[in-house]
């Protein structure tokens, strides 16, 4: 229960951080535990509306969140608020005027969990394309989500970044361009680029990258604490790694740069959710359209394709994870323009062989 004094204190806290410290927004942690009297403990949210509306909802907490968002939006509309909610409460990220919770975004928390689960538990040939697409597109209609390929929690206190989980110890010995490209590093670099791009393009209405990530350090990050005798040994980021022309981190960094530049040019994050035309389990191919672009991903561990039919009208390569500047194998010709034919494919009237 919130007394009026507590409510005023909490709201004034938010205003102080904005006006005195120039914060440009807030991520509200653990919103799920606030929204329900059961705090989300032992509850699997399937999406049924009975799970979100009833006496188990903490109306005082929900009212506070609506007030907080309304106040921030009214006084400082330039500030954004983000909900860390795993339950999927409907309208949490719609305006208070519509009866919503008033948040601008919610974190798509299932996405980084899904990538870690896939990499830890499945062989490459067992990746499920439909399950990947479902995880990346399973979000409330007209509520904005922040997609991210890996969580900061994965790079803290003993867990691993995506790159370290993919390549592990070889990152210390085989990331130099002066040594032969090993299967582990090759697989890790190629999957890393594809995971980030498909998350960026399909997973939400904004994209989050934690500062430095594995471009700033290959390993997990650990802050000084009692458990490590207050050690600073792992409390650092090596931002020089991407600037070393002899290391393959530069390829990952270059791909991230160009991925973001391409989004700035075409604005897929601000576009309607993608139309997925293909999720082929045997071929391990995912294809979708968004913002006038066609994205095609081949997740097959060893099979490349020649003359592959996709739904498309006119096609020129804009970003290719297989390009040489991104540590790829340069198997595609970037100078070719492709035109579609009236050949129905995947419920579309026109298609193209690539």
Reading the block at residue 311, the tokens are: 């739904």
Selected catalytic residue, list 29, 142, 325, 341:
29
Residue 53 CB coordination number (10 Å): 10
The residue assigned the tokens 């020649």 is: 306
| Conformation bin of residue 292: beta by default, left when phi > 0, alpha when psi is -120 to 50 | left
Q: Quote the CA–CA distance of 32 and 204 in Å, as a whole number.
A: 20
Selected catalytic residue, list 19, 20, 78, 84:
84
Residue 290 CB coordination number (10 Å): 19
Q: Quote the CA–CA distance of 132 and 149 in Å, as a whole number.
A: 12
Q: Quote the CA–CA distance of 166 and 181 in Å, as a whole number.
A: 15
Is residue 192 packed enough to be buried (19+ CB in 10 Å), middle (13-18) or exposed (0-12)?
buried
Q: Are 91 and 101 in contact (CB under 8 A)?
A: yes
Q: Is residue 84 annotated as a catalytic residue, yes or no?
A: yes
Q: Is residue 214 annotated as a catalytic residue, yes or no?
A: no
Which residues, at least 6 apart from 231, have a Cβ–Cβ distance to it below 8 Å? Answer: 222, 224
Residue 201 CB coordination number (10 Å): 26
Catalytic center residues: 29, 84
């Amino acid at each position: 229960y919130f007394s009026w004094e507590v409510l005023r204190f909490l709201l004034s806290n938010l205003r102080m951080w904005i006006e005195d410290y120039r914060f440009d927004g807030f991520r509200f942690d653990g919103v799920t535990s606030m929204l329900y009297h059961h705090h989300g403990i032992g509850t699997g949210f399937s999406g049924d509306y009975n799970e979100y509306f009833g006496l188990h909802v903490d109306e005082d907490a929900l009212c506070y969140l609506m007030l907080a968002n309304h106040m921030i939006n009214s006084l400082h509309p330039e500030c954004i608020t983000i909900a860390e909610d795993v339950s999927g409460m409907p309208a949490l990220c719609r305006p208070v005027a519509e009866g919503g919770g008033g948040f601008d975004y919610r974190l798509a928390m299932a996405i980084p969990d899904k990538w870690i689960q896939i990499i830890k538990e499945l062989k490459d040939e067992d990746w499920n394309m439909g399950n990947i697409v479902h995880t990346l597109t399973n979000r409330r209609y007209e509520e904005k989500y922040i997609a991210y390929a890996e969580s900061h929690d994965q790079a803290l206190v003993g867990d691993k970044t995506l790159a370290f989980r993919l390549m592990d110890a070889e990152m210390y010995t085989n990331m130099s361009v002066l040594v032969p490209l090993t299967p582990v590093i090759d697989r890790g670099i190629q999957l890393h680029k594809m995971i980030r791009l498909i998350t960026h393009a399909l997973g939400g209405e904004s994209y989050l990258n934690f500062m430095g990530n594995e471009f700033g350090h290959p390993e997990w990050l650990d802050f000084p604490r009692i458990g490590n005798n207050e050690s600073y040994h792992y409390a650092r980021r090596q931002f020089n790694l991407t600037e070393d022309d002899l290391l393959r981190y530069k390829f990952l960094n270059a791909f991230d740069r160009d991925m973001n530049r391409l989004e700035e040019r075409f604005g897929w994050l601000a576009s309607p959710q993608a139309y997925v035309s293909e999720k082929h389990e045997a071929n391990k191919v995912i294809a979708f359209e968004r913002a006038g672009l066609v994205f095609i991903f081949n997740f097959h561990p060893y099979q490349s394709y020649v003359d592959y039919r996709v739904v498309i009208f006119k096609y020129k390569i804009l970003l290719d994870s297989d390009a040489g500047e991104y540590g790829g194998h340069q198997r595609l010709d970037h100078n070719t323009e492709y035109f579609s034919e009236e050949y129905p494919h995947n419920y579309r009237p026109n298609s193209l062989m690539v």
